[in-house]
Structures are given as structure tokens and as C-alpha cells.
């Protein structure tokens, strides 16, 4: 699932946690963070620490991926493929 904002990440975390039938407390302990962090993050706090998120995702058996946005063509009509443009523009 694509994650554009912290809110979306929060939704993913909460959804997954519920799916796994974990309480905020259990998740917090598994991930080594405080329940407050879990609660606040799920509530949409706008300034969360990346390291904590990684640990929580790990505890939820979720993984994080980074990929070029315009790479997955399709549905890119009307948008610019920055990758391609830059590729062409390069020294070559």
C-alpha cells in the first residue's frame, strides 16, 4: 500500500495491529516503544520518529519499500516522468 502521509502510515499501523489482535500495549512492548507513542501515532501525530516507526512496522511484520514514483508507468497520463526526463537530460 502506498503511503503518502503520516496519516496514511498511521492507518496502516492501526489496521494491521487490529488485524493481528494486538493491544496498543502489546504492540508497544513488542516494538520497544511506549504505549503513548503508539497511541499518538495512530491518532495522527504529525511529528513521529522514523526509527520508532520502523520498529513498530517490524513488530507488525510489515515491510517498507522505496521506489521511483514515476517508474510504475500506467496511470501516469497527464504527469511527467521525471526519471525519463532526467535520464535523457544527463551528460550522455
Partner DNA sequence: ACACAATGGAACCGATCGGTAGCAATGGCG
Partner DNA sequence: CGCCATTGCTACCGATCGGTTCCATTGTGT
**What residue ranges bind a copy of itself (CB under 8 A)?**
1-6, 9, 12, 16, 19-21, 46-51, 53-54, 57, 61-70, 82-83, 86, 90
Residues in region 52-71 near DNA by CB under 7 A: 52
* Stretch of 1-9, 28-36, 57-65, 79-87 lying at the interface with DNA (CB under 7 A): 28-36
Q: Distance between CA atoms of 52 and 56, rounded to whole angstroms?
A: 6
C-beta of 24: minimal distance to a copy of itself in Å? 18
Q: Distance between CA atoms of 39 and 25, rounded to whole angstroms?
A: 9
Could you tell me if 28 and 20 are in contact, meaning their C-beta atoms sit under 8 angstroms apart? no
Amino acid at each position: 500500500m502506498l503511503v503518502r502521509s503520516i496519516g496514511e502510515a498511521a492507518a496502516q499501523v492501526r489496521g494491521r495491529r487490529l488485524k493481528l489482535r494486538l493491544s496498543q500495549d502489546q504492540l508497544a512492548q513488542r516494538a520497544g516503544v511506549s504505549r503513548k507513542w503508539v497511541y499518538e501515532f495512530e491518532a495522527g501525530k504529525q511529528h513521529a520518529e522514523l526509527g520508532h516507526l520502523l520498529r513498530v512496522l517490524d513488530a507488525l511484520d510489515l515491510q517498507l519499500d522505496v521506489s521511483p514514483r514515476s517508474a510504475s508507468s500506467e496511470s501516469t497520463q497527464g504527469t511527467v516522468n521525471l526519471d525519463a526526463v532526467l535520464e535523457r537530460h544527463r551528460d550522455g
